[in-house]
Amino acid sequence: MNPSFYVVAVDSPLKEALTYLPPEDGRVFERGQSVRVPLGSRKAYGVVMRQTQEAPPAVKLKAILEREDERPTIPEPYMDWLEWLAQYYVFPAGMIMETVFPPLGKESTRTSRKSPVVKDYETRSEPPPLTEEQRNVLRQLKEAPDFNVHLLFGVTGSGKTEVYMHLLEEVLARGKQGLVLVPEISLTPQLIDRFSKRFPGQVAVLHSHLTAREKTTQWWNMVDGKRKILIGARSALFCPLPDLDLIVLDEEHEPSYKQDEQLKYHARDAAIMLAKRLNIPIVLGSATPSLESWNNVQTGKYQLHEMTQRVNARAMPAIEVVDLRELHRQRKDTPSSLPFWLSDRLHEELVQIFDKKEQAALFLNRRGVAQTAQCHACGYVAECPNCSVSLTVHATSHLVCHYCDYSERLTEMCPDCKESPLEPLGLGTERVEKDMATLFPDIRIARADRDEVQSRDQLEKLVEDVETRNIDLLVGTQMIAKGLDFPHLNLVGLVLADVGFHWPDFRASERSFQLLTQVSGRSGRQSAGKVVIQTYDPEHASIRHTLGADFQGFAKAELEERSGLFYPPFWRMAMLRIQSNSKERGERTADLLVQRAHVLQRSFAAYGDGIHVLGPAEAPLFKLRNKFRYQVMLKCDSPARLNAFCRQLLADDSWIETGTKVQVDIDPFQML
């Protein structure tokens, strides 16, 4: 007997799925099948959720138009998982389900690129001998073949990737598939090459730097079972692998696993829920685990596996701290010919490393020549007309906004008082590169930041040049801080470690510690390495614990502080972001939102004292791309109660003024 109606999740910003009549030809659809449906005056994609005998009252129903035969049916575990994502992150189910499918049709999958996405090697590279710690971890992991969350806590250079590959060898031996997630595209060139050598012809790749045709080809290679190992950034999680048997999530602490646009999901948390539905193990790897994951280890939710030694018993790099306050006091009395940002100690180490024909890296998490330009006569600061931020100096002649890409020429005279020139203030990677080229004219320098490296080809060329020693000095932002393994890089200098210490975010110390540790770990991968940390705050907890390689001490202190402040991981958070093209409308909407929250608390006992409503307040970046932004923070010790509160609070949006949006961010990572 044919069903009376179908409930379809439509690719549209609708809070609920829609009900449709069967098509006129009487074709029957299954849950998870992709269809085309009428939506207003247009056609839209949708995914069949279920059949039903009940129609919504007083609604004239339309019929499903056709089945999208080229799109495969979404497997049931993935359907269940996608519905969970929609529920948990308060996001339209149809828009989530559309992300499952590739951007183009299956046919004509040839690529026009000169270089392949994945190089297929003819012979398999042999694995290196395992350390005792690696063997122990592998034995422990093999004893838990079903769903378990495993935290592989290993120091930088301890061989976590080799553990992943041994696990994947067993997955392939069972005829199954594996998924390896990395936080950013910057990690993939080395990783892809290493996996491709170990597993010739078995690796596919998905990330944002591929063309639409490349993404489609790689997607079908996995869905059709032609390839067995998928490596990718967070979006690769949505590829519905038919035989998925293992998920690996490398550098699990990285904030870039959290998406800030559209569906604001966290790939780590989403991957864990997918593994649970598939009843397969998931391995989270990091030298500096997130405090959420570490707390889950302490409470027994995750299984801990430790690797405390580098491969081949190589020593961790020696770390030295330079107090920039003392340096500036000395230079007032004894001027130096060195750039203002470069200490004598770091300069000495650079001279020695270049004399030995070894490689060095200088890390600074700021792009450009300087943070801003200011008039010394009247105090004028060049600011973006679209965002409440100062403009960054680039190439000594342009002012650029890193948020909306607005740019203007740097004028010779102050546009306000017209009495004094605008002078660059602060420091960026472009200035560091320029100063180093002046100091060391004979060395080969490359810069790695989003201004200099904007394509996959550029990134792959950069990594190749460092590996083949065609670069002596690498200057970069956090792009060079994560996971890259350069054998001849034996000196790392952190130009200004203080960047991020006092960010308006309760995770500022955690991120600083992670970044310091990860950057330091790039040094001395095959021989004795050195790290020089320049800072105005040498007593900061992030630096003290980095010096002692003391993650557990740092975690214990930080968790104790968060517990008393009702912060994650002990309480859960939701950020309600209000943005409007009118400051007044945005402010009214924010005030009304808080009033509605308090009414909801008074009306339902479950929400009473159990939910903390903080705000409204102007966002730290109050104006962004000509939108005015307000924030309301919600805290609760129960994720289910917090989620229900958000849904009920925003169930009716008729009160939200024109030109104003209210967005929900569950478990927010970006507080700006």
> What is the rounded average pLDDT for all residues in the chain?
90
Give the residue, 600 or 672, on which the prediction is more confident: 600
Q: Amino acid identity of 144? A: A
Report the alpha-carbon distance of residue 144 to residue 150 in Å, rounded: 9
Chosen domain end from 527, 561, 595: 561
| Burial of 596 from C-beta contacts in 10 A (0-12 / 13-18 / 19+) | middle
Least confident of 197-201, 239-243, 325-329, 577-581: 325-329
pLDDT per residue as tens digits for the range 267-278? 999 999 999 999
Same-domain status, 209 and 285: yes
Number of folded domains in the chain?
4
Output the six-digit token pair for 46: 């949708």
Q: Are residues 362 and 493 in the same domain?
A: yes
Q: Tell me: do 148 and 276 sit in the same domain.
A: yes
Q: What confidence tens digit (pLDDT) does each residue in 260-311 have?
A: 888 999 999 999 999 999 999 999 999 999 999 999 999 999 999 999 998 8
In a domain, 379, yes or no: no
Task: Please give the pLDDT value at position 438.
Answer: 95
What pLDDT, in 10s, does the model give residues 466-479? 888 899 999 988 77
Residues 671, 594: contact at Cβ < 8 Å? no
Residues 345 and 482 in one domain: yes
Same domain, 171 and 227: yes
Let me know whether 246 and 296 are in one domain. Answer: yes
d(CA 284, CA 32): 29
Other CB atoms closer than 10 Å to residue 547's CB: what's the count? 16
Report yes or no on 110 lying in a domain.
no
Q: By residue range, what is the domain housing residue 211?
A: 132-312
Q: What's the rounded Cα separation, in Å, for the pair 246 and 206?
A: 17
Specify the pLDDT at position 3: 67
User: Same domain, yes or no, for 66 and 177?
Assistant: no
Same structural domain for residues 529 and 473? yes
Residue 182: which region, alpha, beta or left (left: phi > 0; alpha: psi -120 to 50)?
beta
For 153, other C-beta atoms within 10 Å of its C-beta total 25
pLDDT band at 2 (very low <50, low <70, confident <90, very high): low
Q: Does residue 332 share a domain with residue 263? A: no
Instruction: Quote the pTM value.
Output: 0.92
For residue range 427-454, list pLDDT tens digits in order. 888 899 999 999 999 999 998 877 777 6
Which residue type, as a one-letter code, is found at position 108?
S
Q: 74, 105, 123: which is the final residue of a domain?
A: 74
Output the domain CATH number for residue 505: 3.40.50.300
CB-CB neighbours of 617 under 10 Å: 12
- The per-residue DSSP string of 262-285 comes to SS--BHHHHHHHHHHHHT--EEEE
Q: Is 4 exposed, middle or buried, given 0-12, 13-18 or 19+ CB atoms closer than 10 A?
A: middle
Question: What burial letters (b/e) apply to 568-594, b meaning 16+ CB within 10 Å?
Answer: bbebbbbbbbbbbeeeebbbbbbebbb
Q: What kind and span of H or E run contains 141?
A: helix 132-142
SS (H, E, C) 356-403: CCCEEEEECCCCCCECEEEECCCCCECECCCCCCECEEECCCEEECCC
Confirm whether 342 is domain-assigned.
yes
Q: What percent of the chain has pLDDT over 70?
A: 96
At 511, which amino acid appears? R
Residues 171 and 259 in one domain: yes
CATH number at residue 9: 3.40.1440.60
Examine the domain organization and report whether 458 and 358 are in the same domain. Answer: yes
> Would residue 190 count as lying in a domain?
yes
How many whole angstroms separate alpha carbon 240 and alpha carbon 236?
A: 9
Strand partners of residue 10: 46
The overall longest dimension of the chain from CA atoms, in Å, is 93
Identify whether residues 295 and 353 lie together within a single domain. Answer: no
